[in-house]
């Protein structure tokens, strides 16, 4: 079977423009989570008709964590100062049929119930996979069509206006809160156990959460060795706004909510 490798897809042309060599301070962290009981709970909900996934669960859980435990994660840099987003929103990474990556934006993940989030996300996914492009995809394609080196200059101008100065540009589908407060990406669906994300240069986000694949592992539970289901959750955080202590609080909340998933079934 032949595979078409497009080395200069729209995303590659865009990525070569927006990313520079790593030079800024970032914080990376990983925690291994025992999701044995959570997986059973999710399967039970799915049998009841609520199509919950791990991605759904952790996206909503992160919204609650940002609201109640680590509000510092709901911030970004504007004109040299740390400011708060207007609300706690999330972007969930999505692979399109053509292999391109896009994201689904869901608002107020700190208040939405898990069933409502699941429904909204699935509706958005169906729309994108049926060929309807969101503003982010349209902007990416527009940038990719600009010849080099003009593409780099245009991006630098857009980044200066939108990211550094916080100027909104509605006609281009660009604004300071375009990607919300955080991004969640499940690379486990791609067969990867663990990964460390890039902090999207065109997004005013303080962190990106990566979910790896679910695997079985022998763990010691109450001095007994048992086979459990585990997942690695990794995060990249912007050290300009947060530090390692904030990642610790976030991961601690994940461990708590995994044992109390019903808390996410109601709006708050």
Model confidence pLDDT, tens digit, residues 224-239: 999 999 999 999 999 8
Identify the pLDDT of residue 134.
58
Residue 146, token pair as written in the block: 């600009």
All residues at 6 or more sequence positions from 63 whose CB lies less than 8 Å from its CB, including other chains: 88, 90, 108, 109, 110, 111, 112
Does pLDDT of 2 surpass 50?
A: no
59 sits in the region (left: phi over 0; alpha: psi -120 to 50; else beta) called alpha
Identify the pLDDT of residue 3.
44
CA angle in degrees (0–180, nearest 5) for 143-26-203: 30
pTM (whole model) above 0.75: yes
In what helix (H) or strand (E) does residue 156 lie, and over which residues does it extend? helix 150-159
Identify the pLDDT of residue 161.
81
Q: What is the pLDDT of residues 85-99, one digit of tens each?
A: 999 999 999 877 777
All residues at 6 or more sequence positions from 46 whose CB lies less than 8 Å from its CB, including other chains: 52
Q: What is the pLDDT of residues 23-68, one digit of tens each?
A: 666 888 999 999 999 999 999 999 999 999 999 999 999 999 999 9
Task: Name the DSSP letter for residue 25.
Answer: -
> Per the omega criterion (within 30 degrees of 0), is the bond before 112 cis?
no
What Rg value do the Cα atoms of the chain yield, rounded? Answer: 19
Tell me which residue of 236, 235, 233, 224 sits closest to 257, measured CA to CA: 233
Are the beta carbons of 142 and 74 closer than 8 angstroms? no
Strands 215-221 and 224-238 turn out to be antiparallel
Does pLDDT of 11 surpass 80?
A: no
What is the mean predicted confidence (pLDDT) over 8-13? 71
Are the beta carbons of 88 and 106 closer than 8 angstroms? no
Most confident of 140-149, 150-159, 160-169, 255-264: 255-264
Three-state DSSP at 259 gives helix
244 vs 35, residue with greater confidence: 35
62 vs 130, residue with greater confidence: 62
């Amino acid at each position: 079977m032949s595979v078409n490798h497009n080395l200069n897809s729209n995303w590659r042309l865009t990525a070569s423009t927006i990313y520079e060599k790593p030079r800024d301070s970032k914080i990376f962290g990983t925690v291994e989570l025992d999701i044995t009981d959570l997986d059973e709970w999710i399967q039970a909900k799915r049998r009841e008709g609520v199509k919950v996934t791990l991605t759904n669960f952790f996206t909503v859980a992160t919204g609650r964590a940002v609201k109640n435990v680590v509000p510092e994660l709901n911030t970004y840099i504007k004109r040299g100062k740390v400011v708060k987003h207007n609300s706690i929103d999330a972007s969930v990474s999505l692979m399109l049929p053509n292999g391109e990556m896009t994201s689904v934006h869901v608002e107020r993940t700190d208040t939405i119930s898990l069933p409502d989030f699941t429904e909204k996300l699935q509706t958005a996914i169906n729309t994108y996979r049926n060929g309807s492009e969101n503003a982010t995809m349209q902007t990416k394609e527009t940038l990719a069509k600009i010849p080099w080196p003009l593409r780099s200059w245009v991006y630098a101008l857009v980044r200066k206006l939108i990211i550094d100065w916080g100027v909104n540009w509605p006609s281009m589908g660009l604004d300071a809160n375009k990607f919300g407060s955080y991004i969640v990406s499940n690379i486990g669906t791609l067969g990867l156990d663990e990964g460390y994300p890039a902090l999207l240069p065109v997004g005013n986000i303080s962190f990106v959460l990566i979910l790896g694949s679910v695997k079985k592992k022998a763990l010691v539970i109450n001095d007994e060795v048992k086979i459990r289901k585990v997942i690695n959750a990794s995060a990249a955080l912007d050290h300009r706004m947060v530090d390692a202590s904030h990642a610790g609080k976030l991961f601690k909340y994940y461990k708590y909510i995994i044992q109390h998933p019903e808390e996410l079934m109601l709006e708050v």
